[in-house]
Structure 1
Amino acid sequence: VNPCSALHFTISLSLWADISKAQPSREDHWFYQKQGRDAMDKALGMLQDRDGWKIEVKENNGDVICSKVLKGNKKVFRLEAMLDASVDELYDVLFRKVEEMHQWNPSIQKIRVLERVGPETVITHEVSAETAPGNLIGQRDFLSVRHSCKRQAKVYIGGAPVELEAFPPQSGFVRWVADGPTCLVIEQSEESPNRSRLTWLLNMDIKGWLPKSLVNQALPRAQLDFTKHLRRHLSAGGALRG
């Protein structure tokens, strides 16, 4: 069950002027908000189903990545990590200041909020960092709806791919497509309000030429790298700036 299902939204749209001068309709607002809530529903349902998970990686610092095979031989990954930051600090870094993520995560070139379709729902355009010469995948970009909800000592951030007529695939990039929703859950540690457990469901299909076996190795590696960069950012006091 989505913990945010009873949350009421007020619509406040801020459209990036470089994309389109046309104002999306009220129906568009409702559609993207619903898409964000539905993505969170589905992702949380996967996390709450504890059957079928197998450990893929267990790090010395306590980080654990598990995987599960869904119908169609699709593999999803669940990261669990303890971080030295409060729920509010992580919410600030991972949602409110999402456009600053490239400053501390070298795998991202930039993230831009294209539309705000509610106080807790945004559409973002993300560009991955440049790849090494000869890499067949190439530089990729993403269009996503991101929906968040804060309840007591927990924060939920769900995401899913979207399409915008005003923002088609960009020249020189491969548009990344995810088959299913993703979700972050940030929960206050029982030991300290200044520590939090991060649970990240990664549900993505690269849709490229790479063998599935290589993709299934790369995705958990990307989760561990992300957590490493996030820890470095938090230790430098990044969550407290601004």
Structure 2
Amino acid sequence: MNQHRHINSQPTVSDTLNQVNGQLTDHYQTQLSNDSRTFPLNALYSRSPSITNKRMFQVRRTFLLIVTFDVIFMGLLWIIYNQIKNITIDEAFINDVIKYSIKTSLFDVVGLSLLRFILLMIAYAILKWSHWIFVAFATLGSTGFIIAKTCVFTISKSDKGFTDYGILIVSFILAWIEIWFFDYRVIPHERRLREALNHNDRRPLLGSNSSRSTSPIPPTSNYHSINISDERGQSFYSPVPSIEGSDAEETNIQPVRNIRSDSTISQSMLGTPTSVIEDYNDDEYGKQADEIIERIWGIYQDNNCWIPESKSSDGLDVIAAKNFPKWGKIFRLTSTVTGSREDLVEILFERQEDMSKWNPTVNDCRILEVINTDLYVSYQLINEQAQGIIAKRDFVNLSIRRYIDGIAILAGQACNYPPMPAKDNCVRGENGPTAYIVEKIDDTTCKFTWLLNVDLKGWLPQYLINSSLASAQLTLIESLRNYLSKTVDITSSFSSSTGDLTT
């Protein structure tokens, strides 16, 4: 730590920072002098609620594509059906449409898909309603008609009814896919997106002196917050350059926690006072954190009836599992790691945003909201598992750091955070009681335990989930060892080179 500070205090770096500050100040003053730019930006924000209300979310567009696919696919099946029977389109039109009979014609199934298309397009594309009643009516009507038609339909003797009833079955399945997708995908997804947009879109365009903010960077005099949120819940912030000559930090602003200067965690977030989430106050998060730690500690001390699941090739890393009535299966990895307790805590908690650099199973890791020194809301995106069978999963957790009898507990559990809604390109999973537990053996060795309880969501075989989670645990502990060894080597070489320069 002292070495980093010594390097950052060199005159060359200070002169460079002063020069950059001067250039940013000149640019910022030029922008302030141009009053004509302020009005369009504020006007854009004033119109943002109406834009939000008129937008069509991607999940709804996907539903409308399914409806369109329904009518096109059924029409194509009807044409292929007649081609199989060596009937031209003109003859099929005369027989099935002009001389229509429910006992012999299959064109009514195509017409049924067309009616569904018209009804659902009017209700959900033009009028943009969000109630399930229209798709329920379309599916119920289609189901009743298909069942009635099946009872009176005359089976063709040439193909023994395989093609005939195949078309009826496909129409029945498509109708139920539409209601399933709308009820289980469109409605909950749009509700979460609207909550996030309503939560963010009505924020003031420029940062005020309000003490409450849902952003990781609280609105202070050092930031102009342009907090227009898009469908992915992203926010953008424009830093105001510091006054020329103000190299020293203000003494009234204390960092939330100390980290190494080369960490990728946002310094603006960690160097500001505690921010507050609109939906929950700090006391409620603190209470939830206490409950999570108590739960984790009880599981950690429970040594009965753990069933071995897997282990590493050298036998040093052992994974066992146990079913708990409330949480289901919890996996426990126990191992010994070469490294100090402080280094492990710093890597796994303070520098959590660096995890994607050394853990191949993690694609992205971010701190969304700092509550206090040992408590924050974090986001993690996991890569595909089991050779792509398990799609990407992302998680939003309440992350806690506590020490009990000298044992470091780095716990996490799923929490509700409206500014980070579920995304369309991955599945939102939920963590149950999960924690890294680091117990000091000596100055250079620690006992490492990882309790993992996760609901991956989706329809996945349990054996595949078990194999994937066990593999992820073994991958993390191996990657952690490699990262620690590289860190020690770099630190040693840096220390030796610094000693040579000093002498």
**Same fold, TM-score > 0.5, yes or no:** yes
What is the aligned partner in structure 1 of residue 266 from structure 2?
A: none
CA contact (8 A) 1:77 1:201 kept: yes
What is the aligned partner in structure 2 of residue 149 from structure 1?
A: 402
1:177, 1:90 → 2: CA distance? Answer: 24
The answer to whether structure 1 residue 237 and structure 2 residue 487 are counterparts is yes
1:199 partner amino acid: T
Q: What does residue range 55-204 of structure 1 map to in structure 2 within 5 Å?
A: 55-59=308-312, 60-71=314-325, 74-129=328-383, 135-151=388-404, 153-178=406-431, 180-189=432-441, 192-204=442-454
CA RMSD of aligned residues (A): 2.8
Change (3 A) 1:73 1:196: closer
Structure 1 residue 25 displacement after superposition: 4.7
1:215 partner amino acid: I
What is the aligned partner in structure 2 of residue 218 from structure 1?
A: 468
CA contact (8 A) 2:214 2:277 kept: no
2:396, 2:338 → 1: CA distance? Answer: 30
Change (3 A) 1:208 1:125: same
Structure 1 residue 43 displacement after superposition: 1.7
Q: What does residue range 3-82 of structure 1 map to in structure 2 within 5 Å?
A: 15-16=215-216, 18-19=234-235, 23-25=276-278, 27-59=280-312, 60-71=314-325, 74-82=328-336
CA contact (8 A) 2:410 2:436 kept: yes
Structure 1 residue 239 displacement after superposition: 10
Question: Deviations 1:84-117 (Å, cap 9, x if unpaired)?
Answer: 1000000010001001111111111111101011
Which region of structure 1 is more displaced relative to structure 2, 42-51 or 65-74? 65-74
CA contact (8 A) 2:317 2:335 kept: yes
- Which structure carries more relative contact order (alpha carbon 8 Å, separation 6+)? 1
Tell me the TM-score normalized by structure 2: 0.42
1:15 partner amino acid: S
Q: How many residues align?
A: 226
Change (3 A) 1:238 1:170: farther
What is the aligned partner in structure 2 of residue 209 from structure 1?
A: 459
1:234, 1:120 → 2: CA distance? Answer: 23
**What SS does the corresponding residue of 1:237 show, helix, strand or coil?**
helix
CA contact (8 A) 1:40 1:182 kept: no
2:481, 2:449 → 1: CA distance? Answer: 14
Change (3 A) 1:185 1:38: same
1:65, 1:163 → 2: CA distance? Answer: 30
CA contact (8 A) 2:367 2:376 kept: yes
**What SS does the corresponding residue of 2:455 show, helix, strand or coil?**
coil
- Structure number with higher strand proportion: 1
Structure 1 residue 214 displacement after superposition: 1.4
CA contact (8 A) 2:368 2:376 kept: yes
CA contact (8 A) 2:214 2:278 kept: no
- Structure number with higher helix proportion: 2
1:214, 1:170 → 2: CA distance? Answer: 24
Change (3 A) 1:71 1:193: same
Question: Deviations 1:9-28 (Å, cap 9, x if unpaired)?
Answer: xxx98832545999525952
1:131, 1:55 → 2: CA distance? Answer: 22
CA contact (8 A) 2:213 2:278 kept: no
CA contact (8 A) 2:323 2:330 kept: yes
Structure 1 residue 61 displacement after superposition: 4.6
1:31, 1:237 → 2: CA distance? Answer: 38
Structure 1 residue 33 displacement after superposition: 2.2
**What SS does the corresponding residue of 2:329 show, helix, strand or coil?**
strand
**What SS does the corresponding residue of 2:430 show, helix, strand or coil?**
coil
1:96, 1:37 → 2: CA distance? Answer: 19
Query: What percentage of aligned pairs have identical amino acids?
Result: 28
Structure 1 residue 126 displacement after superposition: 1.0
Larger Rg over CA atoms: 2
1:25, 1:165 → 2: CA distance? Answer: 10
1:217 partner amino acid: S
Which region of structure 1 is more displaced relative to structure 2, 18-27 or 93-102? 18-27
CA contact (8 A) 1:13 1:116 kept: no
1:41, 1:73 → 2: CA distance? Answer: 15
CA contact (8 A) 1:70 1:76 kept: yes
CA contact (8 A) 2:356 2:363 kept: yes
1:132, 1:212 → 2: CA distance? Answer: 13
Structure 1 residue 238 displacement after superposition: 6.5
1:95, 1:121 → 2: CA distance? Answer: 10
